[in-house]
Amino acid sequence: MQTQDGMNYAPKGKPAPVCEKGAFPFAAIGLDHGHIYGMCNGLIEAGGQLKWVYDPDPAKVDKFIQTYPEVQAARSEQEVLQDPTVKLVAGAAITSERCALGMRVMSHGKDYFTDKAPFTTLAQLEQAKQKVAETGLKYAVYYSERLHVESAVYAGQLIEQGAIGRVLQVSGYGPHRINVPSRPDWFFNREQFGGILCDIGSHQCEQFLYYTGSKDAKVVNSQLANYNHKQFPTFEDFGDCNLVGDNGSTGYFRVDWFTPNGLSTWGDGRTIILGTDGYIELRKYVDIAREQGGGHVYLVNHEGEYHFNVKGQIGYPFFGELIMDCLNRTEIAMTQEHAFKAAELCLVAQRDAKIIEGL
C-alpha cells in the first residue's frame, strides 16, 4: 500500500465476500484519482467482480490492468454503460466531472459509487438529488478516511456500545502531503478540485455527522488560506471549520497540505471524540516517533485508560454492506441523506469561508 502519498492510498483488507461469485459485476470509469484503487479493492474483497474499466487515457488503463489483470478494457464509456450485467460503476474522475459521470451512469440504470468529494457546486448536489429521486438509484460516496480506516470503524463500534456515553464534540485533523511533482494540473485549479474544504474537508464533515449522530448541521465559521503555494493562485493549502449539529453537538476540523517530509506516512490524521462519559482519540495512520503504521485507538472512560491497535482486526464492512444494499435496495452501508448532507456541509464551508491574508 502506498503510504507516502495520500492520492494513492489504497488499503487492502482480508477477503470477506457477501455474495456468490459473479453476483455483483461492477465497472470502473474515470481513473483521475488514485482512490479508484481503494474503491475497487474494497468491492472485490467483499465479493464484487470487476468486469470493465474505461478511461480516455490509455496509460491510466494500462496501469490499472497491471493491478487488476482480470478486468476488460472497454473501447468506450458506452460499452460499459450499455452492459446490462453491470450493477454499479465506481469512478474517480476529476472532481468537477464526478456529478456528470454519475448522471450518465444512473441514466443507464446503474448505481454510482464516486470518490469524494462528490461535487464541486451546490447546483451539482441538487442535480444528483433529483436524479436519485427520479431513478431510485444510489449515488454512493467513498469517504475513505472513515470507511477505509480500521481505527475509525472501531471508534464507531465503541460509540454504538456506549463506551463514552453521548457524543458532544468531534475534532478532526486531516493533514496531507502535497507532493507537488506527482499531482496533475487539475489538482491546483479550484474550479476543478473544488477547494480544500470541499475536497479533503468532505471527510471531516462526514465523520462529524456520523460520530455525533447528527442528521443536519450548520457551518458556524470557516477559513481558507494559501500560505505557501503562491505559484498556484487558486489553490488553498489550509482550511478549518466549526460545525454545530442539529442535536447540539459541536465539531471542529482542520485540513492542510503541510505534512513534513520526515513523517513516515502521507498524513498524521487524527480524530478526537468527546463524550459525556469519556473520550476517544484515533491515530489513524501513524503513532509518531513510536510505531509506524496506523490503527491506533485510545479510549478513556470511567473504567480506565485503554489502547487498542486494531490494524488487521476490524476490516472494512462498508463495502459488503454497499453491495448488499445495491442487491437488496436497502440503506445499511450509508443513507443517501447522510452522503448528501456531508457533501452539502463541505460545499457551504468552502463557499462561505473567510480568506486569511497576511502571512
The domain ranges of the chain are 25-143+324-330, 146-316+347-357
Per-residue pLDDT 10s for the chain (359 aa) are 555 556 676 788 889 999 999 999 999 999 999 999 999 999 999 999 999 999 999 999 999 999 999 999 999 999 999 999 999 999 999 999 999 999 999 999 999 999 999 999 999 999 999 999 999 999 999 999 999 999 999 999 999 999 999 999 999 999 999 999 999 999 999 999 999 999 999 999 999 999 999 999 999 999 999 999 999 999 999 999 999 999 999 999 999 999 999 999 999 999 999 999 999 999 999 999 997 889 999 999 999 999 999 999 999 999 999 999 999 999 999 999 999 999 999 999 999 999 998 66
Sort 39 into a burial class: Cβ within 10 Å, 0-12 / 13-18 / 19+: buried
Q: What per-residue confidence (pLDDT) applies to 226?
A: 97
146-316+347-357 belongs to which CATH class? alpha beta
Residues 121, 143 contacting (CB under 8 angstroms)? no
H/E element holding 301? strand 296-301
Sheet holding 278-283, edge to edge: 304-309, 296-301, 278-283, 270-275, 167-175, 250-256, 238-245, 217-225, 354-355
Question: For residues 281 and 164, what is the distance between their CA atoms, to the nearest angstrom?
Answer: 11
Q: What per-residue confidence (pLDDT) applies to 292?
A: 81
Q: What per-residue confidence (pLDDT) applies to 7?
A: 66
Q: What per-residue confidence (pLDDT) applies to 10?
A: 74
Q: What per-residue confidence (pLDDT) applies to 3?
A: 59
Q: What per-residue confidence (pLDDT) applies to 329?
A: 98
Burial 169-183 (b: 16+ CB within 10 A, else e): bbbbbbbbbbbeeeb
Q: Which three cell numbers stand for residue 306?
A: 485503554
Q: The domain 25-143+324-330: what is its CATH number? A: 3.40.50.720
78: Cβ–Cβ under 8 A, 6 or more apart, which residues?
none
Instruction: For residue 122, report the phi and psi dihedrals to the nearest 5 degrees.
Output: -70, -30
Q: Which three cell numbers stand for residue 173?
A: 485533523
